Amino acid sequence: MKNEIEKDYEVLEIEQFEDDFDLPQEEPLEISHRVLSDTSDVLNERLNQVFPGRIVRKDLTKKIKEGANVPVYVLEYLLGMYCATNDEDAINEGVRSVKKILAENFVRPDEAQKIISKLRERGTYTVIDKVAVRLNYRKDIYEAEFSNLGIREVPISEEYPATFERLLSGGIWCIVQLEYFYDEGLQTRIPFVIAKLTPIQMPNLDMEEVLAGRAHFSKEEWIDVMLRSIGMEPSKFSFRVKMLLLARMAPLVENNLNLCELGPRGTGKSHVYKEISPNSILVSGGQTTVANLFYNMANKTVGLVGMWDCVAFDEVAGITFKDKDGIQIMKDFMASGSFARGKEEKNASASMVFIGNINQSVDVLLKTSHLFDPFPEAMAYDSAFFDRMHCYLPGWEIPKYMPNFFTNEYGFITDYLSEFLRELRKTSYADALDQYFKLGNNLNQRDVIAIRKMVSAMIKLIYPDGKVNKEEVEEILRFSLECRRRVKEQLKKIGGMEFYDVNFSYIDNESFAEEYVPVPEQGGGKLIPEGLHKPGQVYTVARGKSNMLGVFKLETEMVSGTGKFERTGFGTEREVREELDTAYRYLKANSKDISGSIVTLTKDYLMHLQDLNGVGVTNQLALTAFIALCSAALHKPTVSSLAILGNISFSGTIAKVEELANVLQVCLDSGAKKVLLPIISASDLVSVPPELMGRFNLIFYESPEDAVFKALGVE
What order do you get walking across the sheet with 603-611 strand by strand?
Answer: 565-568, 603-611, 549-560, 537-543, 642-644, 674-678, 697-701
CA dihedral of 328, 331, 336, 338, whole degrees rounded to 10: 50
Residue 102 has, within 13 A of its CA and on its CB side, a CA count of 22
DSSP 140-168: TEEEEEETTT----EEE-THHHHH-GGGG
Judged against a pLDDT cut of 50, whether residue 79 lies above it is answered with yes
Tens digits of residue pLDDT in 162-179:
888 778 877 888 889 999
| Rounded CA separation 395/380 (Å) | 18
- Mean pLDDT: which of 59-73, 234-248, 372-386, 603-617 is highest? 234-248
Q: What pLDDT, on the 0 to 100 scale, is given for residue 382?
A: 81
Query: Contact at 8 Å (CB) between 551 and 527?
Result: yes
What is the identity of the amino acid at 140?
D
Q: What pLDDT, on the 0 to 100 scale, is given for residue 88?
A: 76
What is the SS3 assignment for 56?
strand
Query: Contact at 8 Å (CB) between 469 and 498?
Result: no
Confidence of residue 326 (pLDDT cuts 50, 70, 90): confident
Give the mean pLDDT of the chain.
Answer: 83
Q: What pLDDT, on the 0 to 100 scale, is given for residue 295?
A: 78
Tens digits of residue pLDDT in 550-563:
899 999 999 999 99
Query: Contact at 8 Å (CB) between 395 and 339?
Result: no
> Of 57-61, 132-136, 191-195, 348-352, where does mean pLDDT reach its minimum?
57-61
pLDDT: which is higher, 311 or 203: 311
Tell me whether residue 397 is exposed, middle or buried, using C-beta atoms within 10 angstroms of its C-beta: 0 to 12, 13 to 18, 19 or more. Answer: middle
Confidence of residue 223 (pLDDT cuts 50, 70, 90): very high
Query: Contact at 8 Å (CB) between 395 and 267?
Result: yes
CB contact set of 299 (below 8 Å; sequence gap of 6+): none
Residue 140's alpha-carbon distances to 70, 155, 195, 572, in angstroms, are: 34, 11, 20, 84
Nearest residue to 96 (alpha-carbon basis) of 126, 73, 69, 63: 63
Confidence of residue 547 (pLDDT cuts 50, 70, 90): confident
> What kind and span of H or E run contains 477?
helix 470-495
Q: What pLDDT, on the 0 to 100 scale, is given for residue 11?
A: 37
Q: What pLDDT, on the 0 to 100 scale, is given for residue 651?
A: 87
Q: What pLDDT, on the 0 to 100 scale, is given for residue 477?
A: 96
| Rounded CA separation 522/515 (Å) | 17
Backbone angles phi, psi at 7, to 5 degrees: -65, 170
Instruction: For residue 46, count other CB atoms closer than 10 A to its CB.
Output: 17
Judged against a pLDDT cut of 90, whether residue 188 lies above it is answered with no
Q: What pLDDT, on the 0 to 100 scale, is given for residue 185?
A: 60
Q: What pLDDT, on the 0 to 100 scale, is given for residue 255?
A: 93
Phi-psi region of 268 (alpha: psi -120 to 50; beta: other; left: phi over 0): left
> H helices then E strands: how many in the chain?
27, 30
| Rounded CA separation 35/87 (Å) | 10
| Rounded CA separation 675/677 (Å) | 6
| Rounded CA separation 351/348 (Å) | 9
Confidence of residue 80 (pLDDT cuts 50, 70, 90): low
